[in-house]
Structure formats: structure tokens, C-alpha cells
Chain A
Amino acid sequence: MTGIQLVFIVVAVMTLGAALMAVLTSNMVHAALWLILALFGVAIIFVLLNAGFLAVVQVVIYIGAISIIMIFAIMLTRRLITDIGTQTSSSWPWAALIAVALFGGLAWMLSTWGGFNTTPQLLSPRSDQVVELGQALVSPNAFVIPFEVASVLLLAALIGAIFIAWDRK
């Protein structure tokens, strides 16, 4: 077992443990903090996959924006949350069954797939991924249409969120 495999195992266990705590703990603020740890683990996974830019974006957008806005929402709605007591609905055994069955099915399907144990190809040392990604996102031959649609979606979400959360007396 090489060092990088050890790093992967430690990070994977941390990510999955934090994710489990995020969906199991009954205190919502703690759940949001566990979510931050899980997102950070995913950022480290991106670094292990040579996608440094996505790791930075993960930290900035997911941890810096989405988690913080979630903590804001939890605090704005907190008074009732602590009164509820249990946080899981009565049908949680069915949810656990579905999740375990889906994981078993996915693992079985992946294990029958031929490319399951592919090892990584070498990245060409000449290419700069950030430059490539930036050019692909604005190139007419690549992703300019999805990129523009995503920006329109973000604008619509911005306006929609303001409109929905507006306090009309």
C-alpha cells in the first residue's frame, strides 16, 4: 500500500463518517458543521484526482457560500427545530433499506463493469487544466451554451430567491 492510497483511505473514511453524522445527528447546527467536514473531504478527493481548480471552487462555493447560507437558514428557523425532538421520520427503516439496496446494486453493477480497475493515464505535462477549462467553457465548439444557460439559471435563482423570501405584509 502506497502513501497516496493511505491518504485516500483516511480521507474517504473521514468524508463518509462526516456525511453519516450530517444525516444522523439531531442537532441541525451540528449537522451543518458535519456537512462542512464532508465537503472538505470531497475537496481533498478532487486534489487527489489532479483537479486543483475544482478543489478551490469546492471550498469557496460549497463551504464558503452554501454551508454558510444553510447555517443562516437553520438559525432563522431554529426555535421550532429544537422543539421537535426526533429528527427522523417514522419511515426511516424503509429509507435505510432503499439506500443500502441502492448501494448494493451500484456496487454489484460496477464490479461487473470491465473498466472498474482502470489505473489513471498520465496527464500531458504541457497542458494547463485551468486554461483548458476556461477556454472550453467559452468556446462555441464546447460548452458556451450550457455555460450561458447556467448563468441565466443563476440569475433566475437570484431573483426568484429574493421574490420568494420577500416579506410582504
Chain B
Amino acid sequence: MIPLSWYLILSAALFCIGLFGVLSRKNAVAILIGIELMLNAVNVNLVAFWRYITPQAITGQAFAVLVFAVAAAEVAVGLALIISIYRRRNTVVADEIDMLKF
């Protein structure tokens, strides 16, 4: 059988790759891609803990479903913001979107 540690290491690596994407990318859509990877790492963790620690309670899967819903909402609003900014400012580079910077 696969020990729990393999899943935890996999999800930690996936989370760190996503974090690297969020911190290093210029393009706002690429930052959203990194966030998706991080949310997926969280889901792997939730489901792995459900399977290995508390398989009698369905809590881990229920929270994974809620993470799916939040991820869908986040992508919808995020991409709408990016398209709106692109339309007004003609850029999707996160560094150039600094209207609020004083």
C-alpha cells in the first residue's frame, strides 16, 4: 500500500510549485494558474487525510467539494477582472496594474 507520506510530499511539492508560479509570473492569468495548482494541492491533502485518518467521517470529501466551489468562483471573478483591466488599460502584466499604488 501507499503510505500517507507520499501523498503529503506530493501535495507539498505541488503547493510549492504553485507558490513559485504566483510569485514569479508577470502575467495575471499565469498567476491564476499558480493559484489553481495551490488549491489542488490543498484538495489532495484533504482527501488523503480523509482516506488515511478518518475514513468513517465524510468531512474531508465535503470540504474538498467546498474548495471546488470556491475555486470556480475565484476563477470566474479573477478572469472577469483581468478582462476588464485589459479592456481599459490594455495590459495584463501585474506590475503595470498599479492604479491603487500611491
What A residues does B40 contact at CB under 8 A?
38-39, 42, 62
A137 to B48, alpha carbons, bound, how many Å? 19
CA distance A33 to B66 in the complex (A): 25
Q: Please give, as numbers and ranges, the residues of chain B lying within 8 Å of A23 by CB-CB distance.
A: 17-18, 20-21, 24-25, 30, 33-34, 37
Q: Which residues of A contact B77 (CB under 8 A)?
A: 157, 160-161, 164
Residues 89-122 of A, flagged 1 when their CB comes within 8 A of B and 0 if not, give: 1011011101110110011001100011111110
Secondary structure class of chain A's binding surface, majority of residues: helix
Counting chain B residues whose Cβ lies within 8 A of the other chain, the interface size class is 35 or more
Cβ-neighbour of B14 out of A19, A91, A160 (below 8 A):
A19
By a CB distance below 8 angstroms, the chain A residues around B21 are 22-23
Query: Closest Cβ of chain A: how far from B12's Cβ, in Å?
Result: 4
Which residues of chain B are within 8 angstroms of A92 by Cβ–Cβ distance?
23-24
Bound-state Cα–Cα, A54 to B86, Å: 34
Binary A-proximity of B45-67 (CB < 8 A = 1, otherwise 0):
00110111101101101101110
Interface residues of A (CB under 8 A from B): 2, 4-5, 8, 12, 15-16, 19-20, 22-23, 28, 31-32, 35, 38-39, 42, 45-46, 48-51, 53-54, 57-58, 61-62, 65-66, 69-70, 72-74, 76-77, 80-81, 84, 86-89, 91-92, 94-96, 98-100, 102-103, 106-107, 110-111, 115-121, 123-124, 129, 132-133, 136-137, 142-143, 146-147, 150-151, 153-154, 156-158, 160-162, 164-165, 167
Residues of B within 8 A of A (CB): 1-10, 12-21, 23-27, 29-30, 32-34, 36-37, 40, 43-44, 47-48, 50-53, 55-56, 58-59, 61-62, 64-66, 68-77, 79-84, 86-87, 90-95
13 of the cross-chain contacts (CB-CB < 8 Å) are: A2-B1, A8-B2, A8-B6, A22-B33, A23-B20, A62-B71, A69-B76, A76-B83, A95-B23, A99-B19, A119-B4, A157-B73, A164-B81
